[in-house]
Structure 1
Amino acid sequence: MQALSPRHVKTEEALRLGVESGWYAIKVSGTFVSGPHDSEADCSRKIDEINPPPVKKKR
C-alpha cells in the first residue's frame, strides 16, 4: 500500500513540469499518480479509490 496525498500544482510550476495546473495525487517520493483534478476534494476521492482507507473491524 502506498501513501498518497493531494498536491496543488500552480500554473508556473505546471509550465516548468510540462503538465496542466490542478490537483494531483502524489507519492511520498513526489511522483504523480493521478491528475489533474479540479479540486482537492476530487483528488482525495481518487486517492480513496486507488488506495482505500483500512476498514475498522468491530470487536
Structure 2
Amino acid sequence: MSWSAMRLVSLGVAAVVVDRVGIEPLYWIGGSLLALAGVLGLVLLGGQRLQALEPGVAG
C-alpha cells in the first residue's frame, strides 16, 4: 500500500479508538510509542562511535 493510503487507514483506526475509549488513551499510546522509538534508537545507536567531522569535510 502507498504511504497516503496507510495514513488514511491510520486516521480511521484512530477514529474508532477515540470513539470506543476516548481521546486520552490515544495520547498515552502515541506518547508511549514515541518514547519506545527513542529508546530503541538510542539502544541501536549505542555501538556506534560518534565524532564530529572536520570543518569543510563532507560526510
Class of the TM-score when normalised by the shorter of the 2 chains: under 0.3
Q: Which has the higher strand share?
A: 1
**TM-score in terms of structure 2 length:** 0.26
TM-score of the aligned structures, taking structure 1 as reference length: 0.26
Please say which structure displays the higher CA radius of gyration: 2
